[in-house]
Structure 1
Amino acid sequence: MSITDIITGLRPAEGLIIGGESKAAASTFTVEDPATAQTLTEVADGDAADATAAVDAAAAAFPAWAAATPRFRADILRRAYELMVADVDRLTALICAENGKSQADARGEVIYAAEFFRWFGEEAVRTDGGYGLSPSGLARTIVTHRPVGVAALITPWNFPAAMATRKIAPALAAGCTVVLKPAALTPLTAIAIVQILEQAGVPAGVVNLVNSAKSAEIASTWLADDRVKKVSFTGSTGVGRILLEQASARIVNASMELGGNAPFVVTADADVDAAVEGAMVAKFRNSGQACTAANRFYVHADIADEFVARFGEAISALRVGPAADEASQIGPMISAGAAKTIRELIATTVDAGASVAATASAPSTGHFVAPALLTGVPADAEILQTEIFGPVAPVVVWDDEDQLVEWVNGTEYGLAAYVYAGRLQDALRIAERTDAGMVGINRGIVSDPSAPFGGTKQSGLGREGARIGLHEFQETQYFSVGD
């Protein structure tokens, strides 16, 4: 099936899914293919009235969904997992078309995204709580959890499937109903996922989708609505601050997965081949457009030349191109503006004294940026304080661990970090001194549905995944029971 047929089958002009019905909006917005800069389709552009209608549906559906048995909710999530896996080809094609990532990256995302439905389907039936005698002996204490209520979910463009399922799955497992606002750059995958959930048996109104180019209007409408009890947002730290300020007006329960500036540390006794392999994954997955992407490379002086030479060879060999070419490993940036920003950042860093040690070739059409390795980067360079969000790897040489840790922690972000070392004790020591929510030790990837995903400092609040991801959508309640 062609991508045109796949998109047509989604009925994007009716891309509002509210109360179990697909609806049109008063206007539409354009979605483009970043590999060609050509228009893919027009999608229904929801407004404040549509956002309120979505909350109406979610609030009406909440009592029955919250009262449903854990097994009932779990079975639906399991079916959604199975349907996603069976539909991997179509979902991969959609992600490639609207996001631009390579086929391998897109397929990997679909499988990863589906896993959240399986994981939280399993967690839904593992209800926990507590029971015990109070210290005074005058009462028994029963601790339980209940769904927080209607949850507003706002997701970014860089992982259009995984960012949606990572929020929807725990919300549904906990007994919440949801209103979802995906990024306007990548709305098609979200339509497909919500349709899959309906096919899996999710009752009307439990999952509602509002596609819109009016992000601030939709978010403000939801945060001002007394029926919305939870907001979960993934995106930039700047937008997260705005949403938290709005949420504070009603004391809305908030989870925020925000920006990152991940360091990638290589010690003197690290396995260089393994470190380069991990660096390629940590830096270039999704063309570097990931909040967990390795952003700054700190390589010990004793092996810096060897690491740079091998890393440079691997970067030069990267195949950059559209997803239509199955051999492509690196796709385009999401927009012309994003590509321009990254090129300017490279130029600024070179002007500050750095050198381009290696680069790959890239197409001249579309929003492509050639992957680049920068050496001789000053320790105070602007690029080291910036979330690059692109295929650029700046290298800084170190030889003093205390200075290294100061550099590693010298940022407002604290999402992810990576450490490659020969001795596990050294890796753990550096990891423990690193102010980040997640540290990959001798591996270039940290994301896993069974692990708590989230950061420290300005990288956010709360965690997604693991059992704690379920608790983010629950309120804790206890009963003090007398004799």
Structure 2
Amino acid sequence: NYPLNETFTTLIPALAMGNTAVVKLPRYGSLCQIPLLHAFKECFPRGVVNIINGDGRDVAGPIMESGQVAALAFIGSSRAANILKKQHPMPNRLRCILGLDAKNPGIILPDADIDLAVRECVTGALSFNGQRCTALKILFVHRSIADAFVKRLSDAVDALPFGLPWEKGVRITPLPEPGAPDKMRSLVDDAVKKGASICNSNGGISNESFYFPAVVYPVTSDMQLYTVEQFGPVVPVAVFDNEHEVFDYIVSSNFGQQASIFGKDPKRVGPLIDVFANQVCRINLNAQCQRGPDVYPFTGRKDSAEGTLSVSDALRCFSIRSMVAATESDAGKELLREIIHERSSSFVNTDYLF
């Protein structure tokens, strides 16, 4: 997806707060990091930014087992994060900033603007081939508009231009992982065997690492696509008759990052917000799930995240507040004045004011 952004969204605040860092590069997309690695080498003292590469199980485990890691910033699966955390021998010394799994639902109410909802759901589900944690991973559509919505969604997906990433105007590209199309096929085949259909004409067509997005409908609770994060170009669509079915889904879900609500009636949207606000960390009204602007908190509940990222929150994640206190006496004040005047402490100083 976007490995450069995901690396530096945590590395930059870590360095800004005075930490040294060990960076394990992502499995895919490492080459785009090289220009910045040269810049780090030129700008920082030796040992401040340390780069390692290789299989995470082989290189990250021994580092965690050393007990010398004070903060773990990790973007990946909750399963891998749990393994890394357990490898640290002193868990109370470890602070974690984790961006993990998600199964973000989109809820399309009966009065939704269907054209708007389709447009946002196509972008929300399939930008970066659906390989981002903020993607819409399942759509719940009210039965009264389900057939019309699925027809327009399928037509819009089939119209997406595909090709190689550097070709102008391309929206769908091959997947970076060799086994990803097989995973998509497995999830779709499971749904089809249990009664769902691929609704768009090109859905599921594949060649080597390419997989054309499949709109799968109707998805039900006995299908893997109902609960499993696909992390790829598959758009599951489920039907609901009343909002309590959606409530039950989101409350019982193992994930809790974001949700999108499409509708105009405040009496229907409001109660959804009230339930979702205790289950996810961002509710998008008539818009796709997304990250940013970065002044907003980016986090999740359950198996979706630990810690919060935004410009200010990220700086807090990589620092622990410390203070120096003196009694309100002439001696105490004089001591602090002398420390500042003589610049005898790097911590107690006012140089940052100038």
- Normalising by structure 2, we get a TM-score of 0.85
Q: 1:327 aligned to 169, 181, 201, which one?
A: 169
Paired residues for 1:334-373 under 5 Å: 334-360=176-202, 365-373=207-215
Please give the alpha-carbon distance, in whole angstroms, between the structure 1 residues aligned to 2:72 and 2:26: 15
Residue pair 2:136, 2:289 contacting (<8 A) in 1 also? no
Q: 1:299 and 1:240 mapped to 2: Cα distance?
A: 33
Task: Provide the residue aligned with 1:241 in structure 2.
Answer: 82
Partner of 1:283: 125
How many angstroms apart in 1 are the aligned matches of 2:229 and 2:238?
16
1:164 aligns with 2:18: no
Kindly indicate whether the alpha-carbon contact (under 8 Å) linking 1:237 and 1:258 is maintained by their aligned counterparts in 2.
Answer: yes
Whole-angstrom distance in 2 between the partners of 1:312 and 1:235: 30
Distance across 1 between alignment mates of 2:49 and 2:274: 40
Cα distance in 2 for residues equivalent to 1:407 and 1:209: 41
SS of alignment partner, residue 191 of structure 2: helix
Could you tell which deviates more after superposition, 283-292 or 402-411?
A: 402-411
Q: Could you tell me the percent identity over the aligned residues?
A: 27
Using the TM superposition, give the Cα deviation of residue 208 of structure 1 relative to its aligned residue in structure 2, in angstroms. Answer: 2.0
Determine whether 1:315 maps to 2:315. no
CA drift of 1:223 comes to 1.4
Report the CA distance shift for 1:196/1:359 in structure 2 as closer, same or farther (over 3 A): farther
> 1:236, CA displacement in angstroms?
0.6
Q: Secondary structure at the match of 1:190?
A: helix
For the aligned residue pairs, the C-alpha RMSD in angstroms reads: 2.0
Which residue of structure 2 lines up, in the alignment, with residue 23 of structure 1?
none
TM-score (norm 1): 0.63
Matched length: 324
TM-aligned CA deviation for residue 381 of structure 1: 1.9
Task: Name the CA shift for 1:191/1:432 in 2 (closer, same or farther; >3 Å).
Answer: farther
CA displacement at 1:424 relative to structure 2? 4.9
Matching residue's letter, 1:332: P
CA distance in 1: counterparts of 2:120 and 2:89, whole angstroms: 40
- Mean CA deviation greater in 328-337 or 241-250: 241-250
The separation in 1 between residues aligned to 2:318 and 2:269, in whole angstroms, is: 34
After superposition, where does 1:293-304 map in structure 2 within 5 Å?
293-304=135-146
Distance in 2 separating the partners of 1:195 and 1:409: 46
Tell me the secondary structure at the aligned position of residue 156 of structure 2: helix
Cα distance in 2 for partners of 1:410, 1:167 equals: 30
Q: Is the 8 A contact 2:259 2:289 kept in 1?
A: no
Mapped to 2, the partners of 1:461 and 1:423 lie a distance apart of 34
Q: Which runs of 5+ in 1 are unaligned?
A: 1-157
1:443 maps to which of 284, 287, 290: 287
| 1:378-389 correspondence to structure 2 within 5 Å | 378-389=220-231
Change (3 A) 1:432 1:166: farther
Once residues 171 and 369 of structure 1 are traced to their aligned partners in structure 2, the CA distance between those partners, rounded to angstroms, is: 37
* 1:428–1:248 CA distance, 2 compared to 1 (3 A): farther
Which protein shows a greater Rg? 2
Matched, 1:452 2:293: no
Q: In the alignment, which of 66, 69, 73 is matched to residue 228 of structure 1? A: 69
Match of 1:419 in 2: 261
CA distance in 2, matches of 1:423, 1:390: 32
The letter of the residue matching 2:314 is: G
CA distance in 2 between counterparts of 1:163 and 1:169 reads 11
Q: How does 1:25-36 map to 2 (within 5 A)?
A: none
Q: CA deviation at 1:444?
A: 1.1
Write the mapping of 1:2-401 to structure 2, written as runs, cut at 5 A: 158-198=1-41, 201-212=43-54, 214-247=55-88, 249-251=90-92, 252-360=94-202, 365-401=207-243
CA separation of 1:198/1:390 partners in 2, compared to 1, >3 Å: closer, same or farther? same
Higher share of residues assigned strand: 1
1:399-414 mapped onto 2 (5 Å cutoff): 399-414=241-256
Q: What SS does the aligned partner of 1:358 have?
A: coil
Deviation at 1:479, TM superposition (A): 4.0
C-alpha deviation, 1:474, in angstroms = 0.6
Write the distance in 1 (CA, Å) between the matches of 2:222 and 2:60. 36
Cα gap change, 1:221 to 1:411, in 2 (>3 Å): same
Amino acid at match of 2:287: R
Report the CA distance shift for 1:324/1:482 in structure 2 as closer, same or farther (over 3 A): closer
The 1-side partners of 2:41 and 2:274 are apart by 44
Cα 1:431/1:222, change in 2 over 3 Å: farther
Q: Distance in 1 between matches of 2:47 and 2:271?
A: 49
Instruction: State the 1:294 CA deviation.
Output: 0.9
Please tell me the residue identity of whatever aligns with 2:281. Answer: G
> Is 2:271 the partner of 1:429?
yes
Alpha carbons 2:247, 2:275 under 8 Å: kept: yes
Deviation at 1:316, TM superposition (A): 1.0
Residues of 1 paired with 2:118 and 2:306: CA distance? 31
Q: More displaced, 316-325 or 447-456?
A: 316-325
Q: Quick check: 2:135–2:290 contact (8 Å CA) kept in 1?
A: no
* 1:181 Cα deviation from its structure 2 partner: 0.4
Q: What's the CA shift for 1:362?
A: 7.9
Per-residue CA deviations over 1:379-422 (Å, capped at 9, x if unaligned) read: 33211111101111111111211122112333211122211121
Decide whether the 8 Å contact of 2:258 with 2:282 is kept in 1: yes
Q: 2:308 aligns with which of 452, 463, 473?
A: 463
Give the conservation status (yes or no) of the 8 Å contact 1:453–1:463.
yes
